Amino acid sequence: MYAAGLTLKEENMDAFIVHFEKVVCEQIEPDSEVQRIVADSELLLSEIKPRFFKVLEQFEPFGPGNMTPVFITRQVSDTGYAQCVGTDCEHLKLYLTDPQTGGSYSAIAFRQSQHFDMIKNKKPFDICYNLEENNYKGKTSIQLKIRDILTD
């Protein structure tokens, strides 16, 4: 979906809002109210290497018509360093590992602190994520930007 601009007189604003809401409500299908993430590929954490990330960067810039690749990795676990971060502890900072392959990466999960207890219980879970470059204290690394945590 793209943004659109328009100009209207202030006295027409209330009528516009009422009509706009009516049209939108008539157009929205119940199925479209559920947010869905479409994954591009399943990936093992051990497959995420700097060279792989450099190849992904060649597909930039990302945006409408060329969305950022989304990956799924199954049965990951936190290494024990999971913590809630943010002003209201609404985000998760994780260090994930794939026990089968030994791959591990740091990750950030915005607005997903509801999964904290399950993650701390060492129960394996699936993740859906993008890869991003993280620059922190002069050090650059690849980080998983978690879009969703999939639990049983």
- Residue 116 CA to residue 90 CA, distance in Å, equals 10
Query: Does 32 fall in a domain?
Result: no
Query: Does 68 fall in a domain?
Result: yes
6, 9, 10, 12: CA torsion to nearest 10: -90
pLDDT of residue 110: 94
Query: Does 102 fall in a domain?
Result: yes
Query: Does 131 fall in a domain?
Result: yes
Query: Does 82 fall in a domain?
Result: yes
Domain that holds residue 85: 41-150
Contact 103, 144 (CB under 8 A): no
Residue 110 phi/psi, 5-degree rounding, is: -75, 135
Query: Does 115 fall in a domain?
Result: yes
Query: The domain spanning residue 68 has which CATH number?
Result: 2.40.50.460
Per-residue pLDDT of the chain (152 residues; tens, 9 = 90+): 456 778 889 998 889 989 888 888 787 776 666 667 778 899 999 899 999 999 999 998 888 888 899 999 999 988 888 889 989 989 999 999 887 777 788 999 999 999 888 888 778 899 999 999 988 889 988 999 999 998 76
- Residue 39 CA to residue 7 CA, distance in Å, equals 38
Total structural domains in the chain? Answer: 1
Token reading at 148: 């969703």
Query: Does 14 fall in a domain?
Result: no
pLDDT of residue 73: 93
Query: Does 3 fall in a domain?
Result: no
- Residue 79 CA to residue 44 CA, distance in Å, equals 16
- Chain mean position to CA 47: 19
Q: Which contiguous run of DSSP H or E holds residue 125?
A: strand 125-136
